[in-house]
Amino acid sequence: MDTLRYYERIGLIDAVERTATGQRRFTDDHLEWLGTLKCLRDTGMPVEQMCRFAHLVREGDHTIDDRIALLEAHRVAVDERMADLAAKRDYISGKIAYYRDVR
């Protein structure tokens, strides 16, 4: 919840609808958007870049190409990260094998 409020504050989420007494009512659209945000965040996209993406989305359909470019760049980053993790995972496996040997 705090994180949601934080995201709302920095403009990652549009101002959310409220009940008469001021409580947030998230719509399905919001939940979907939050899912996207979570995906980007969890794959290491900095909050600032997510803001840029959110801005593009808010701007309307003429930013579709920019959004594609942004997501593609991010996908490349994710791929690189996965490759790096895979290589380092192997190094760790090697260490484990080494320790098993000397034990």
Partner DNA sequence: GTTTGCGTTGGAGTCCACTCCAAGTCCTAG
Partner DNA sequence: CTAGGACTTGGAGTGGACTCCAACGCAAAC
Interaction site with DNA (CB under 7 A): 1-3, 5-6, 18-24, 41, 46-48
- Taking CB under 8 A as the criterion, which residues in 25-64 touch a second copy? 36, 39-40, 42-43, 61, 64
- Mapped onto helix, strand or coil, the DSSP state of residue 18 is strand
In the complex with a second copy, the residue whose CB is nearer, 18 or 75, is 75
In the complex with DNA, the residue whose CB is nearer, 5 or 95, is 5
**The two structure tokens encoding residue 56:** 């593009």
30 binds, among DNA, a second copy, none (CB under 5 to 8 A by kind): none
Q: Shortest CA distance to 53 belongs to which of 80, 26, 13?
A: 13
- Mapped onto helix, strand or coil, the DSSP state of residue 52 is helix
Verify binding: residue 3, a second copy, rule CB under 8 A: no
Alpha-carbon dihedral sign for residues 85, 47, 62, 27: positive
